[in-house]
Chain A
Amino acid sequence: MSDQRACQVEICPDGPALVRGADEVIDSSGRAHRTTRPVVAVCLCGRSQRAPWCDGTHKVVTAAAPPSSAVEARVG
């Protein structure tokens, strides 16, 4: 992954955050999870059994809709 590539986080309504260009995601306990996928879905509902990755569980739980927004950051 190039240092010049923009890392983008896109919050999906009632769903996960799509993170493009990340090399690792650090979970709430401080543990780093490496990824080689160009895009990952990060759990926002807190119910995933494969955290920090989304596993679709948000669809079977009633969750308040998270705010819909997208932010961009630089990696490296």
Chain B
Amino acid sequence: MQLPRPRGPVSERVFAEMVTPDPKAVALEPFARTHDVLADDDLQIALWALYELSFRGFEDVDADHEWSPGLLATRRVLEEAFEAALRDLTEDAVERASQEHGRTAEQVLAVIEDVDDPRLARYLQREATEEQYREFLVHRSIYHLKESDPHAWAIPRLDGGPKVALAELQYDEFGGGRPDRLHSTLFARALEGAGLDPSYGAYVDVVPALTLATNNAMSFFGLHRRLRGAIMGHLAAFESTSSLPCRRYSGGAARLGFDSRVNEYFDEHVEADAVHEQLAVRTICQQLVDQDPTLQRDVLLGASTCVRLDALASAQMLGAWHQGLSSLLGTPQEEVA
């Protein structure tokens, strides 16, 4: 994969520095708290690319630049703004759940419910056009082609029951010993089945800031040991809000007559995620907070971030479609298919 297209002055500067680090570069100015960080294309693509250095990297960036001090300093400025925005987004839900429920598992379920669901899954099941369904797959490709990778960062940071449960869950995500069952590979096959490009990063340039933000949240939580509670809370919310929507996505794919590889991906997730949600909520999150009560609010931060960012991204997608527009950036719909 090559570096994506920059979307403004911040990403232009960051990408230039990725190719040729400048030891004399001056750190970015902090962003004002009033700034809409989650919807800022320039900031989100810069952060996405900085994180990508720790996943698959770019052909046009030296692998060693992952640890360039200048790039790490820039990432930190972006992360401070991003973390403040995520805390603002979730603060009320975290507070309510903490006050109204005693056990962590119940608190996690409460923040998962504490969201204005735009009903994207129902729309895809019953009404979406083929083009809209393909756009949905394009948005999801940014994460699903590295499915569960950001959550795997937590493994060496956990111990005992939560570590065992996370390993059990990840073993399934990573194919259960069979490379052809890697969930990211199943998704690549689904993309192919829908006539889309299955290669990693193929659609980064066309997804809007909110789609990148949903991915950046996982990378941010996953890469920081201090936020191990948040990445596990995110996992719990992700898995708990997967089985039922996946049934609808599968129904939508069948209604539109897509190749069976699309249904297969979502059908797999109906069954797999019914297991994963139990492991993630009841074993991982509950036991993690039992072991270390100081992680309680971070677990809820992660869970609420998952559902609320997803709701924002889904609402934006539906909003575009209801106006007869593409939910993707700068690319006519016919070029995507």
SS of A interface (majority)? loop
Residues from chain A with Cβ under 8 Å of B278 in the complex: 12, 15-16, 18, 41
- Smallest Cβ-Cβ distance to B244: which chain A residue: A56
Would you call A38 and B168 a contact (CB within 8 A)?
yes
Shortest distance between the CB of A73 and any CB in chain B (Å): 19
| 6 closest cross-chain pairs (CB), A and B | A56-B243, A54-B274, A41-B274, A41-B275, A56-B244, A53-B271
Q: Contact: B270 with A50, CB < 8 Å?
A: yes
B residues within 8 Å of A by Cβ?
168, 171-172, 176, 243-244, 247, 267, 270-275, 277-279, 282
B172 touches A55 (CB 8 A): no
A12 and B172 within 8 A (CB): no
Q: Separation in Å of the B329 CB from the closest CB of chain A?
A: 33
User: Which positions 18-37 of chain A face chain B at CB distance < 8 Å?
Assistant: 18, 36-37
Q: Chain A nearest CB: distance from B206 CB in Å?
A: 31
- Partner among A13, A15, A36, A60 whose Cβ is within 8 Å of the Cβ of B244: A60
* A: number of interface residues (CB 8 Å): 20
Min distance, Cβ A72 to any Cβ of chain B, angstroms: 16
Q: Do residues B270 and A55 form an inter-chain contact, with CB atoms below 8 A?
A: yes
Per DSSP, chain B at the interface is: helix
- Which of B267, B273, B275 lies in contact with A18, CB distance below 8 A? B275
CA distance A49 to B171 in the complex (A): 25
Some 22 contacts from A to B, beta carbons below 8 A apart, are A12-B282, A13-B282, A15-B278, A18-B275, A36-B176, A37-B172, A37-B275, A38-B168, A38-B171, A38-B172, A39-B279, A40-B275, A41-B271, A49-B247, A50-B267, A53-B270, A53-B271, A54-B274, A55-B244, A55-B274, A56-B273, A56-B274
- Complex contacts, A39 vs chain B, CB 8 Å: 168, 172, 275, 279
Closest chain A residue to B242, Cβ basis: A56
Q: How far is the CB of A67 from chain B (nearest CB, A)?
A: 15
> What's the minimum C-beta distance from A75 to chain B, rounded to whole angstroms?
17
**Cα distance A18–B283 in the bound complex, in angstroms:** 12
Closest Cβ–Cβ distance, residue A22 to chain B (whole Å): 12
Question: What's the minimum C-beta distance from B124 to chain A, rounded to whole angstroms?
Answer: 17
Interface centre among A36, A55, A56, A59 (most CB of B within 10 A): A56
Contacts of B247 in A (CB 8 A): 49, 55-56
Please measure, in the bound complex, the distance between the C-alpha atom of A39 and the C-alpha atom of B243, giving whole angstroms.
16
By a CB distance below 8 angstroms, the chain A residues around B243 are 54-56
Assuming the contacts A36-B176, A59-B244, asked whether A53 and B171 have C-beta atoms less than 8 A apart, the reply is no
B168 with A16: CB separation less than 8 A: no
The complex places the Cα of A54 from the Cα of B267 at a distance, in Å, of 12
Given the complex of chains A and B, what is the CA–CA distance between A16 and B279 in angstroms?
Answer: 12
Task: Give Cα distance in the complex from A38 to B277, angstroms.
Answer: 15
With A12-B282, A41-B278 as known contacts, state yes or no: A50 contacts B271, CB within 8 Å: yes
| CB closest residue in chain B, given A15 | B278
Shortest Cβ distance from residue A38 to the other chain B in the assembled complex, whole angstroms: 7
Residues of B within 8 Å of A60, CB to CB, are 244
Q: Which residues of A contact B176 (CB under 8 A)?
A: 36-38
* Bound complex: CA A13 to CA B106 (Å): 11
CA distance A41 to B273 in the complex (A): 9
Chain A residue contacts of B277, Cβ below 8 A:
56
Bound CA span A16–B282, Å:
12
CB neighbours (8 Å) of A38 from chain B are 168, 171-172, 176
Using Cβ atoms and an 8 Å threshold, which residues of chain A touch B275?
18, 37, 39-41, 54
Q: Are A53 and B172 in contact (CB under 8 A)?
A: no
